Amino acid sequence: MSVSTDSHHVDIGDTRLHIAERGSGYPLIALHGGPGLDYHTWGDYLDPLTDAYRLILVDQRAQGLSDEAHEDTWTLKQMAHDVKLLAEALHLDRYAVLGHSYGSFVALQNAVDFPGAAAQTIVSSGVPSARYLMGYVNSCLNAFEPIELREQVKASWAKESSVQTQADFEVIMHEQLPFHFSNPLDPRIPEYEGRSAGAIYSPNVLRHFAKEEYGGIEVEAQLPSVQHPVLVLAGRDDRTCSVEAANAIAAGIPGAVLTVFEHSGHMTYVEENDKYLSVLRAFLDKHRGG
């Protein structure tokens, strides 16, 4: 489907965030993965929701077409605060926040730091603590087949801490994608690259976070403070953000609901798009009225 996009900047105080808006209705703020990516990572996969929802696809702080911001502000907590500031600048009353991958860290941090500011939060392929990442990711990588793709992914991760150009960043993304699909040879990988083309990569941001343990998500102890409805989405074969981590989020937040996509890896909204949209729509419809 073809949906028109209204792209513009929003002043949130110390910087401006670029957003791409599609559709109208109940606002859904969508936070991309990364760090260092932009709203194009969603491609057009959420567009069917525009019949009832106002998609607000955000280029997070210092990423994509958003303005430069001082490196000292490139933190998980600041990006979580940016979500609240953006909602206030847009004069949103009730709204939902959806974050995928690194964006889910931001969404979860926002839910913990500002309980009840959003009406709903969707945590898609996330973790509540960095302790769920490194050992798990390394074990999955060491078992990853075929072996030539395993070596390709390992080499690409080593490049992150020294990446300099958008072209180099694009190569890293291409080399890592097989690891993030349940089937590393999935024919939808090149399709996804086509549908998400046009990204403005931010190598400085990726390089910064690669040296800072990707922001150090640590909110597990604060999960009980979240006061609004939360939906947790996880891929059964996710080699980055495990179902165990998703279970910990759902168990820690009162009333949270977990949906596991049995035929997906990390890219749930691509691999099982129809189910993803259906689950998302049902959750939003259930709670949007307060």
Residue type, 153: V
Closest CA to 93 of 30, 25, 5: 25
- 84 vs 145: CA distance, rounded Å: 41
Confidence at residue 150, expressed as pLDDT on a 0 to 100 scale: 96
- 3 vs 209: CA distance, rounded Å: 33
- pLDDT beneath 50: ranges in the chain: none
Confidence at residue 215, expressed as pLDDT on a 0 to 100 scale: 65
Per-residue pLDDT tens over the stretch 211-225:
876 668 999 999 999
Confidence at residue 212, expressed as pLDDT on a 0 to 100 scale: 76
Confidence at residue 214, expressed as pLDDT on a 0 to 100 scale: 67
Per-residue pLDDT tens over the stretch 29-61:
999 999 999 999 999 999 999 999 999 999 999
The secondary structure of 136-152, three-state, reads HHHHHHHCCCCHHHHHH
The edge-to-edge listing of strands for the beta sheet with 257-261 is: 6-11, 16-22, 53-59, 26-31, 96-100, 120-124, 230-235, 257-261
